[in-house]
Structure 1
Amino acid sequence: MSEDIILSTSGLTKEFGGFTAVNGVDLKVRRGSIHALIGPNGAGKTTCFNLLTKFLPPTRGAIVYNGKDITRRRPAEIARLGLVRSFQISAVFPQLSVLKNVRIALQRKRGDSFDFWRSEDVLSSLDGEAMRLVEAVGLAQFAELPAVELSYGRKRALEIATTLALDPEMMLLDEPMAGMGREDVERIEALIRKVSQNRTILMVEHNLSVVASLSDRITVLARGQILAEGDYATVSKDPRVIEAYIGSGVGNAH
């Protein structure tokens, strides 16, 4: 079934001085799935994500995406291959409108840096495609609003739109629900489910009810190593997982 695996790691390790943040992680993400990476604070989730998206070089190990070894590739290279990360920063231009933010992302996809100096008429040719993406994430009524005026959850929806503009085959979502109220969580959860229909998603997420609702498969990290894997029903009952969460002061893994 190896042809179903879109992203895999073998022996992925990251050491900082004498500290091993990620230790021999063998991860397999199935094509078309929503795969969650969870674990108590200090488990190595963010470091692992930074290794996958090439923000950090690994000390040892290999990363393979769509059959290509991307271990030594740069972030811009893997984005062109269709592996795109979202949410590590609020990746929008606050003073520009929602529509113009998405249009800039479409320009990036074309890779034409001169677009920034072209006439409004030429750029407006991208408006139709940009508006379709704005509508897809439920922001049509806010298309002309400056991004800075959006609520927190709607800013996140805009980030999804700008990520989708790059037409990724696989999206890596870095704590998409962080800092959100219930209404925004429900909106973004529904949006992630919608955009996952024709792509693969790997996400780091602390909200375990979201993980339970969205994920096909879950990998639990603890102290930089894989502690357990499976669906939510399986990992949430695993005594090692419960112990890891209770021991970290987070509470029960359910």
Structure 2
Amino acid sequence: MSSDIILETRGLVKEFKGFVAVSDVNLQIRRGTIHALIGPNGAGKTTCFNLLTKFLEPTRGQILFDGQDITREKPAQIAKRGVVRSFQISSTFPHMSVLKNVRVALQQKLGTEFHFWKKEETLKQLDERCLELLGFVGLAEFAHLEAIELPYGRKRALEIATTLAMDPQLMLLDEPTQGMGLEDVEMVTQLIKKVAANRTVLMVEHNMGVVGNIADTITVLQFGQVIAEGPYSEVSRNPQVLEAYMGSADETL
């Protein structure tokens, strides 16, 4: 496995009672890049994510992270290695302040998340790092608001901040701009680019404008199989991809 490949799958298969949701998927995610996993509904994208973060066990195949076989590891072991899935692992607490949401994530990294008997004053040593992370995602001015008060797009930014608190090497973003208006899409897109400057991002995304703007490599799935891979300029002209999305190879993405 090349040192510039941070995550690799080899012949990854997931079957559900005879239905093949993921079929012989071979991925190579290069370190320091944004890699997008796209495809029409039912293509197997979310199943792939669940396999990579070990919420599902593969039927066959291998998953390697940093050259190590992690196929049989548990989700907590995967997270400790630095593979963190945003919007799943890093769920927010709506009636807790924005700052305290990030503090909880930092406690997880320190292994003190279950020290409920500790006085709050002892946790304030984490606040400086919390504010750094909130500043990074543009939320420092909202630190003392309850998370439920944040607009939708900024809630996604908070989820990214809590994920960053886990100090991930590889961030998996599942539909980061889903349900957003144009302004929030642009904000979160720019935030993903900023996050990716120092780490690797693997994302599932339906918004082709976002994918075309920020992804270095795109893998296209259909019926659980990879039908195309490459930069947006190539993938967007691929006849199989156009057929999968538009029903006709004469259309354009």
TM-score (norm 1): 0.96
| Residue equivalent to 2:185 | 185
Give the corresponding residue for 1:220.
220
Residues 1:80 and 2:83 are matched in the alignment? no
- Is the contact made by 2:13 and 2:22 (CA closer than 8 Å) also made in structure 1? yes
Aligned-pair identity (%) = 64
- State the one-letter code of the partner of 2:99: L
Q: Which residue of 2 aligns with 1:26?
A: 26
Shift of the 252–128 alpha-carbon distance from structure 1 to 2, 3 Å rule, reads: farther
Structure 1 counterpart of 2:134: 134
Partner of 2:47: 47
Map 1:192-231 to 2 at 5 A.
192-231=192-231
Deviation for aligned residue 1:120: 1.8
Give the counterpart letter for 1:159 in structure 2. E
Structure 1, unaligned stretches of length 5 or more?
A: none
Q: How does 1:91-102 map to 2 (within 5 A)?
A: 91-102=91-102
AA at the equivalent of 2:78: I
CA distance in 1, matches of 2:106, 2:63: 28
The 5-angstrom pairing of residues 59-78 of structure 1 reads: 59-78=59-78
Relative distance call for 1:144 and 1:252 in structure 2 (3 A) is: farther
* Counterpart code for 1:117: W
Q: 1:208-238 deviations in whole A, cap 9, x for unaligned? A: 0000001000000011000000000000000
Q: Which residue in the other structure is 2:8 paired with?
A: 8
CA distance in 2, matches of 1:198, 1:185: 21
User: How do 1:114-129 and structure 2 match up within 5 A?
Assistant: 114-129=114-129
Is 1:105–1:162's contact at 8 Å kept on the other side of the alignment? yes
Cα 1:15/1:118, change in 2 over 3 Å = same
Q: Would you identify which runs of 4 or more consecutive aligned residues in structure 1 move more than 6 Å? A: none
TM-score, normalization by structure 2: 0.96
Partner deviation per Cα, 1:139-192 (whole Å, 9 max, x = no partner): 011100000011110000000000000000110000000111111101100110
Letter in 2 for 1:76: A
Report Cα offsets for 1:101-122 as digits up to 9, x if no partner: 0011000100124433211221
Q: Distance in 2 between matches of 1:9 and 1:113?
A: 32
Count, aligned residues: 252
Decide whether the 8 Å contact of 1:107 with 1:115 is kept in 2: no
Q: How do residues 222-241 of structure 1 correspond to structure 2 at under 5 angstroms?
A: 222-241=222-241
Kept after mapping to 2: 8 A contact 1:54/1:73? yes
2:109 match: 109
TM-superposed deviation, 1:252: 4.9
Question: How far apart are 1:91 and its partner, in Å?
Answer: 0.7
Matched letter for residue 143 of structure 2: A
Amino acid at match of 1:71: T
8 Å CA contact 2:8, 2:26 repeated in 1: yes
**Counterpart contact for 1:208–1:253, Cα < 8 Å:** no
Query: Judging changes above 3 Å, is the alpha-carbon distance between structure 1 residues 193 and 124 closer, same or farther for their aligned structure 2 residues?
Result: same
**Structure with higher helix content:** 1
Report the Cα offset of residue 247 of structure 1. 2.9
Aligned AA (2:81)? L
CA distance in 2, matches of 1:116, 1:247: 55
> What does residue 58 of structure 1 align with?
58
Distance 2:36 2:163 in 1: 19
